[in-house]
Each structure stands twice: as structure tokens, then as C-alpha cells.
Structure 1
Amino acid sequence: MFELHASKVANLKNDVLSGLTVALALVPEAVAFAFVAGVEPLVGLYAAFMVGLITSIFGGRPGMISGATGAMAVVMVSLVAIHGVEYLFATVVLTGLLQIMAGLFKLGKFIRLVPHPVMLGFVNGLAIVIFLAQLGQFKVTNEAGELVWMQGSQMATMASLIALTMAIIYFLPKLTKAVPSSLVAIVVVTIIVQSFNLDARTVVDFVRDMTNNPAASIAGGLPQFSIPNVPFNWATLQVILPFALVLAAIGLIESLLTLTLIDELTGTRGKGNKECLAQGAANTVTGFFGGMGGCAMIGQSMINVNSGGRGRMSGVTAALALLGFILFASGLIEQIPLAALVGVMFIVVIGTFEWSSFRIINKVPKADAFVIILVSAVTVATDLAIAVIVGVIVSALVFAWEHAKHIAVTRSVDEQGSTVYDVNGPLFFGSIASFLEQFDTEADGQDVIVEFKNSRVADHSAIEAIDTLAERYISRGKKMHLRHLSKECRQLLTKAGSLVEIDVIEDPEYHIASDQLG
């Protein structure tokens, strides 16, 4: 993965400076996601502050940045449109409680089961999503109140400032790494725009376009505690529970995948279950303080990592600085050119995209290449959670199909004249059809032995297949013996149960996947 001067060592100065850089980039993102969800800008900004602060202090991945995200915002919009913002706050509280339960039940470890091709597709798709999201900054409001693409000198100015920002971020580390190059780029471009009075859109222009309010601002006070104003009854739960389940799943999947990505970048390992608890606590608190909730933000996390942020103080600084902007420095922050922030995000896109996937696409198995492309496409078309779930399902089906080919049954006759079948390979739902096809119940003798010493019965579908085979032999008046099955397998057999030859010394011990055993 393309990586800009990333260090693996935490440093307080780097954490503070990178946190300030992240805070500047958080403002337009939080406002944009609030707009997507159909709520006021401060609802998004408060979420970015509270979720970011709590997860930075208590989360399982120092250096990871959390806040309001687009993946969750697109789920919220229909809820807000139909039931209002108070129902959103109640849903965010319930989302947090569900995520806390996921942490308590230690479900975070399952993110390690996500295959590498899915991870590649995830980061590639996310890079494309981040890039496409920046294109909205190239639009302005015309006299009719419609958003249209920039034209002429305004577009040229925007493109030039973006190029300057990216050049500073790329070349400055070659001279010095004393300060984050992204922060320097934002400051330099802001000074140039203000000094020469250039026609460049600023943060306040973006806020006003998003809200369609010429007097809009990011200024506000401290978030206030408030219990969501909804009826506490079964009808309310029926409304908010489906949304809460989806939001909890999206939030955890995106957070844990971002955690895994930062693990790779920094050469360290985060704690998935601890992150689940922190994300849940953050969303629960946010719902009581008028925020829209959130999860890990891969774009801002990449800015933080590439700016030298490694410790918890980077996220804490970003959150506190964002609150400072809202309370005291809104006028200053609103003058930052959007071109500077777009330039920073374009560098994030370059750093996030796995360019090596182009080089290896013809070298990896076709199924893996398909999964990479599929997950990338679904990420762009829908959202990250659906893309990852689809990728995992397809990868699992491919795995099952490939291993279904590995079942082999060898037929022989022993000294006593019994027909012996040696089973080699895993017996599971994908291989049972091939398994059953390899027995000739008509031609076999009266005594048949099926040897499982070189096989493993993996699930209940395999048990059913063994019972089916036993029934075929029983119906023909033949006796079948099963050898080297585990104790659990023998317990689950019905038709073949009395035909198992038990060898206490040699019979294997392993756990079979079956709900019947609890």
C-alpha cells in the first residue's frame, strides 16, 4: 500500500499536530454527512466530537479516528424523514447498546475471518468512494438555487489550489518531517487565498450550500444532555430496532476493517472487542447529547496515520479541536478553502487505494480477482457493510466449491471379503453429493466398511449424508460399518447409529458444527 512517511512510533508532538490536521478535515465531512442524514450541521459536528473523543480514549486502536460517517448517514435519512430527529437519537442510543453487547460477547474477533481479497476490494472501493465524494466540492449554487459545476476561472483556481496542496504534502516530508505536511498545506493555501483575495470556495460556502441558508454557520454551544423525546413503548421499539441493527452492523464492520487496515500500516495490533465496546459507549452517549452517531472514518484515520498520529492523543486532540472550532473559532475555520481539504483527501485516496492489485490481478486465482472487483463495485454502488458481507459470502462459497472437489473415496476388498471404502478429504455440505456418488450399493458385498480415518465430518449435512448412505445399504439387506468417527458424530447418527464400530483408542476427538449438540 502506498504510504506517506508513516512512522510506527507514537510521539506527543506528532499526535497533537496530526490531530489538528484531522480536525480541519472533519468539519466539511461532518456537515456533509449531517446533510445526507437530513439533520442540522451541528448534529453531525457534535457526533464527530463525542464519538471521536470517547473512542480515542477507550477504543482498541490508538490513532484511529471516528466520527459521523456517510455509510451510517444513508441509513438514517429515511428514519429522520418519516419519524423525525428525536427517533434518530433514540435509535443511536439503541445502536450503541447493541454494539456494547457485541463487545461483551467478544464478536470483534470474527473480523479476522475476512479474506484478504475482500480487504483489497474494501480499501479500493473506499478509495473510489472518498474520491467521488470530493467531486461535490466542485459544484456551486447558481441564481436558481441549484448546484452546478464550476466554470472558467473559478474551476481553474480550484484545480490549481488542489494541485498546490498535494505538491506540498508530497514534497515537504523530503525536506522536513517536523510538522505534518497536510497541516502546512492547509495553512499555506489558506494564507494565499486570503492574501490575494482569490475566488475560492471556503468551508462556510459549503455549509451554506448544504443547508441552503445564506446565514448558516458551524458556530454553536456545548452539546446538551437530553433524553430522546419519543414514547417508550413497544411501537417505538418496532420502529427503531431494525434501523439500530443495521447501523450497529455497519458501524462495527467499518470500524473493525479500518482497525485491521491501520494494524497493517503501523505494524501493531488493535483490540477488536475493546473497539466494539468503545464504539457502543460513544454512540450511546452521543444519542443522549443530540448527535447522529458514527463509527471509524478511514479517510480521516489515513490522514492521521500519514501525518504521524499514532497515540490516543491524536484522536483526543482532533475531537477537542473540533469542539474548539464550534465554540470559539468558527469564523476562522469557515475561511479555510475547500481546495485545501480536497487536496488532502485526494492524497488520502492515493494512499488508500491498493495499487498493487493491478499488478497481481492476473497472478491470483480468478475467484480472488473476481472477489476484489466485486467488493470494490458493491462498495461504490451500495455501502461498505453490504460489500464486505457479499465478499465474505462469495469467498466462503468459492472455498466450499473448491474443497468439495477434494473428497475422494477409494474402493477395495479386504482379506475377509468385505468391501472397504477409504474416505479422504473433508465431508461437509459442499462435498456430500460427490461423496454419495462414489458408493456402488448394488455391486458391494453383504459387509461394507467405510473408513473415516483420513476424513473429517464437518457439519450436520455430512451426518445426514452418512445416514442416507446407511439407509441405502439397510434397504438392500446389507450391513455397513463406520470406523473412526468422533464421539459427537456417533451421537448425531440415527439410521447408521447402530452400525458404528467404536474404537476408543483410535477414534478422533473434534467438534462438529451442529445446533443439536447445543
Structure 2
Amino acid sequence: MQYTVNEIKTNLLSGLTVALAMVPEAIAFALIAHVSPLTGLYAAIIVCLITSVFGGRPGMISGATGALAVVMVGLVVNHGVQYLFATVILMGLFQLVFALFRLGKFIRMVPYPVMLGFVNGLAIVIFLAQFNHFKITDESGISQWMSGVALYTMVGLTLLTALLIYVIPKVTKIIPAPLGAIGIVSFITIFFNLDTKTVADLGAIGGNLPIFQIPVLDYNFETFRIITPYALLLAAIGLIETLLTLNLIDDMTETRGRPNRESMAQGAANILTGFFGGMGGCAMIGQSMININNGALKRLSGIATAVFLASFILFLSDWIEMIPLAALIGVMFVVAEKTFEWGSLRLFGKVPKEDIIVGLLVGGITIIADLAIAVILGVIVSALFFAWDHAKKINVNEKTNKKGWKVYKLSGTLFFASVQNFQDLFDHKNDPKDVIIDFNNSKVADHSAIMAIDNIANKYKKVGKKLHLVHLSPECLEILDTAKDMVEVNLLEDPKYHIADDKLA
């Protein structure tokens, strides 16, 4: 792949910015999962490197995430960190299976209101997560909010960072605004010897690179019984967050990522992470937004991020630990502001209320519960709204032909949700001796629809009336029972479509 000098500079500087923003996140997520800070940093390095080199979305950044960390807590507390490493390996294997069956394409079935809820929910989660850094823990282990000079200093530096990110691009575009802001605020803090929290307050990041080791535990049925549910849930959350982030970047950059390739890379990355003592990971929407907003759309940016993270651990830990947390918090506040779809607030009253409900539902559950549950529930609710809406659109136009026969010209889709409305359209007791149901403007979609047609046929048959079914798909004949003899076949005019039914599979 060819790079221009400007692209190399943009991607390297953006990689440095993202690496700096990833340090406190990786450490914080590791602490949430009750593992060492290096466990989070190892995951950030390995997952970021593998997905950047082999993934399907250049420019997207992956690493340890909070969505995965909150699921890991129970496993680590109850069974230990070695079980976590084995779980991450199994998680990666599940993701490889997902990719091998090429299931990534189904992410396109996620409706836009679900995507909107996902983006807005995660933006709020990113924003709220930063407030944990405004707490201090006393000797007894009790956390409480900062106060006095410490609070004012932290807030002031945070606001200064955010302000600089918006001002720097108006002055120069030589370096990414977040990197410039971090540098300026760090210089001010060190030069004036300000007493404020730094990266060192989260934990030491110095150390060696990870080494290969097989998780130390008993490999028996009981072990797999423990780790399999966690692995499945982690794999699902990781893939959902990754593929939705991929879709978001596709929309922002007007390009097309490769979801199956990204799933494959993520699975491989998590397997390696488990063997090298990392906590696993997936796409990070916040860091990905920093990268994309910096204009870094090449694989080099993610590779650079991983290399910079490794250099922090090996050579630069003393310097990185001096960076004020306020500078990194300010960056993440701006990321949250830029990630939130503010235009969605103008949609109230302009789009169907069902879409508003789905978006709010997904966003709310993302904030208070779990991303995977939020997205899955959002898709289900969207599907139910869709089915309910289409169920009401089944109707008929009645007329009498020259022979005195009643003709029902059906329109709409006949499927499981509309069969009751369909059956209520006919008056078998008062209709004439001959009745025609014309399906030319309708579609029979599933087995429930076929059974509804048979049910109507039975009603007319019991009262001694003759029913004529015209313009049905030939596939319907294979399942119809009572109504089969009532179908009038017209090879030139009958529609050609398949119905969703196991009997035809």
C-alpha cells in the first residue's frame, strides 16, 4: 500500500494520540475486571496490532473495553485470572466460527434507529465514565468526590484541554488537536508543579512485553462448563460493538469495510491475547473516533498505536505516568461530544414514533445495562413494530363481476402477524355461491399465511360455497391442503416467489 508523506505523518501522529488516550482506558478497564493494569495494556497492544494489520476496517482502533470488562468481573472474582485467559481464548474461537460462516453480513439488518441508539448510548457512557476520575480513594478504600483546590484544578485542566482541541485547528493543523492539547496541558502541569491526578495514580505501566503461556488450570468438563457461557457472551458483545462501530465509520467515511474479515481478525487477536496474558478486546468507539476525526484512515495508524503503547511500557513509562489525567479526560469529553448524534434531537415529531422509541430504548439500555442486550432487544422491538405495521396493511377491494360472483382483490403481505386481519375481511355466510380471492396485489409470505388460506377455504366449503383462488405462487400449492383444489393456475400471470416455510427447504 502506497503512503504519501502527509499520510504517514497524519497516521503516525494520530496513532500517538490514540495510544495516549488508550492508556487510562486500558488501565481503568483492567481494574474494573480485577486484573493488573498490564493485563489491560497487553490486550490493547495485541488486539490493536492484529486487527489493524489483518482486519477489515482500516482506521478502526480495537483494544480492552469496558463493555467486556464488566462481564469479566464475576469470572475473575470467583475463579481467578487464569480462567479469564482461557475464556478469552475460547471467545476468540467463537468469533472465528462466526467469521468462517460469514455471518458478519447480518449486521446490515440492524435498523438505523438501533444504530442511532447505540451511538448516542455509547457517547453518554464515554462521558459518564470520565467522572470516576474525579473521585479519590482514602486509606480505608472508600471513594469520595474531590473537593476544594484539587477539584478546581482538575476541572480547570479538563476544560482547558477541551477548549484547546477546538482552538488548535484554527491556528495550525500540523499536529492533531488532541495531541497538541495533551502536550500543552502536560507542560503547564509540570512547569507550574500543579498538584493533580496523573496516569501514575491509576497504576504503574512500566514492565516487559508479554510472554506466551498456556493458562494454568484443569482442562476438564467442569472448566468448560464455567468458561463457555462467559466466552459466548464476550464474543457476542465484542462482535456487536465492533461491527456497529465498523458500520458507523463506513457511514462517516463513505467507504465499505469488510465485516467478516474484521470478525476473523478479532477472533485471532483474542486467541493470541489469551495466550499472552491479556484480557481480550474489541473495537473502541471513542479511540476510533479520535483516529477518524484526525483523518487517519490507514492501517498504519492502528499499527503505530500498538507500537507506541509497547514503547510506553518498555521505555517511556516514567514520562507517560506524568501526564495529568485531566488532559486525557478532556480528550474523551470531546470524543463523547463529537460521537453523540446531536441531529437526532431534531427528529422528534419528524420520524415515526416507533423509531424514536427504539432509539431511546437502545440508548437507555446501553447506558444502564449491556450493549449486546440493548442491540438485540432493539432489533427485536424494531421487527415487532415492522410486523405490527404491515399486519394492519392487509385489505381488500370488493366488487361483483358479470357472473354475479363476489371478487375480493387482496392487497398487502399475508404473514403470521396479518392472518387474523385477513380472516376478518371475508363474509363467508352472506357471500354468494361463487367467490374469488385475487392475490395478484398480495404476497403470501409464510406457513401461517398458507394455513389462513386453508382456514378460509374450509369455512366456504362448510357452507356449500365455491371458492376460487387466483394468482397464487406455485410454491403455495405444495403446502395448501383444503384450498389446493380451489386454486386456478395461470402460468402467464401467476407470480413467481418463494414463501418462508420449512417444508419447502
Which residue is equivalent to 2:473? 486
Instruction: Give the number of aligned pairs.
Output: 501
Partner of residue 235 from structure 1, selected from 212, 222, 226: 222
Which residue is equivalent to 1:412? 399
* Code of the aligned partner of 1:386: I
Please list every run of 5 or more consecutive structure 1 residues that lacks an aligned counterpart in the other structure. 1-8, 208-216
Distance (Å, rounded) in 2 between the aligned partners of 1:108 and 1:10: 33
Verify: 1:170 aligned to 2:200, yes or no: no
Which residue is equivalent to 1:365? 352
User: CA offset at residue 95 of structure 1?
Assistant: 1.3
Partner of residue 444 from structure 1, selected from 417, 421, 431: 431
User: CA offset at residue 253 of structure 1?
Assistant: 0.8
Which residue is equivalent to 2:16? 20
Paired residue secondary structure (1:310)? coil
Structure-2 change in CA distance of 1:143 and 1:234 (3 Å): closer
Residues 87-486 of structure 1: matches in 2 within 5 Å? 87-207=83-203, 217-486=204-473
Distance (Å, rounded) in 2 between the aligned partners of 1:162 and 1:256: 31
Please list every run of 5 or more consecutive structure 2 residues that lacks an aligned counterpart in the other structure. none
* Code of the aligned partner of 1:26: M
Q: Aligned Cα RMSD in Å?
A: 1.6
Distance (Å, rounded) in 1 between the aligned partners of 2:220 and 2:431: 66
Moved more, 283-292 or 464-473: 464-473
Paired residue secondary structure (1:455)? strand
Paired residue secondary structure (1:492)? coil
User: CA offset at residue 10 of structure 1?
Assistant: 8.3
Structure-2 change in CA distance of 1:132 and 1:83 (3 Å): same
Distance (Å, rounded) in 1 between the aligned partners of 2:141 and 2:79: 27
Verify: 1:74 aligned to 2:70, yes or no: yes
Paired residue secondary structure (2:413)? strand
Distance (Å, rounded) in 2 between the aligned partners of 1:385 and 1:474: 50
Mapped contact 1:429–1:459 kept (Cα < 8 A): yes
Paired residue secondary structure (2:173)? coil
* Code of the aligned partner of 2:89: V
When normalised by structure 2's length, the TM-score is 0.96
User: CA offset at residue 157 of structure 1?
Assistant: 0.6
* Code of the aligned partner of 1:372: G
User: CA offset at residue 80 of structure 1?
Assistant: 1.7
User: CA offset at residue 201 of structure 1?
Assistant: 0.3
* Code of the aligned partner of 2:160: L
Moved more, 241-250 or 52-61: 241-250
Mapped contact 1:10–1:309 kept (Cα < 8 A): no
Distance (Å, rounded) in 1 between the aligned partners of 2:321 and 2:185: 14
Deviations 1:383-415 (A, max 9, x none): 222111122112111111111121112233333
User: CA offset at residue 494 of structure 1?
Assistant: 2.6
When normalised by structure 1's length, the TM-score is 0.93
Distance (Å, rounded) in 1 between the aligned partners of 2:310 and 2:246: 24
Mapped contact 1:458–1:513 kept (Cα < 8 A): yes
Deviations 1:304-327 (A, max 9, x none): 112221100101111111111112
Mapped contact 1:157–1:200 kept (Cα < 8 A): yes
User: CA offset at residue 497 of structure 1?
Assistant: 2.6
Moved more, 16-25 or 97-106: 97-106
Distance (Å, rounded) in 2 between the aligned partners of 1:511 and 1:246: 35
Structure 1 vs Structure 2: percent identity of aligned residues?
A: 60
Q: Following TM superposition, where does structure 1 have runs of at least 4 consecutive aligned residues deviating by more than 4 angstroms?
A: none
Deviations 1:245-292 (A, max 9, x none): 211111111111111111122221211111111111111211121111
Mapped contact 1:14–1:307 kept (Cα < 8 A): yes
Moved more, 382-391 or 236-245: 236-245
Distance (Å, rounded) in 2 between the aligned partners of 1:254 and 1:494: 46
Partner of residue 39 from structure 2, selected from 40, 43, 48: 43
Mapped contact 1:10–1:310 kept (Cα < 8 A): no
Structure-2 change in CA distance of 1:496 and 1:82 (3 Å): farther
Mapped contact 1:10–1:311 kept (Cα < 8 A): no
* Code of the aligned partner of 1:46: Y
Paired residue secondary structure (2:409)? strand
Deviations 1:461-518 (A, max 9, x none): 2122112222222333333232222222221223323332222222222222222222
Distance (Å, rounded) in 1 between the aligned partners of 2:445 and 2:38: 52
Paired residue secondary structure (2:312)? helix
Distance (Å, rounded) in 2 between the aligned partners of 1:512 and 1:218: 59
